[in-house]
Amino acid sequence: MYCTSRDEREERDLKGTKNIVLMGLALGMLFYAVPRLDLSSESILPTVFGIAWIAFALLIIAAHLHELLGVDEEAREEMEKVKRMKKWQLEQMVQGKRKMLQFKK
C-alpha cells in the first residue's frame, strides 16, 4: 500500500480501525439476535424476517471483511493513476503546452 503523505497513512489506518469496530458490532448483533429470532415458527412472516435479518447482517460483515482485506487495492491504485494523469493533462492544457489525450473505451 503506497501512501504519499503521513495524513493519507493515518486516514487509511483510521478506516481500518473503523471497519474492525463496525464489523465487531455487526458480529455482536448477530450473536445476540440469532438465538432470539423465531426461525421455526408456524407462521411464515417471522421466519422470513429472521432469515432476511441474518442475511443483511452477514452482508454487512462481508462488506467490512472485503474492505479490510483490500481486495480492490489494485483497482484503487489504477484509478488513482488515471486521476493523476487527467489532472496532469488538465494542467498542461491550461498552461497551453499540450492538448488533452483521448482515452479509448
List alpha helices for 1-105, DSSP H: 6-33, 44-69, 73-94
Which one, of 75, 73, 68, lies nearest residue 18 by Cα? 68
The amino acid at residue 30 is L
Alpha-carbon distance 3 to 98, whole Å?
A: 29
Is 72 or 103 the better-scoring residue by pLDDT?
Answer: 72
46-64 residue pLDDT tens? 899 999 999 999 999 999 9
CA 5/CA 14 separation, integer angstroms: 14
The reply to whether the predicted model has a pTM over 0.95 is: no
Give the residue, 73 or 51, on which the prediction is more confident: 51
Q: Are 79 and 41 in contact (CB under 8 A)?
A: no
Condensed to tens digits (0 to 9), the pLDDT of residues 3-36 reads 556 676 677 677 788 989 999 999 999 999 999 8
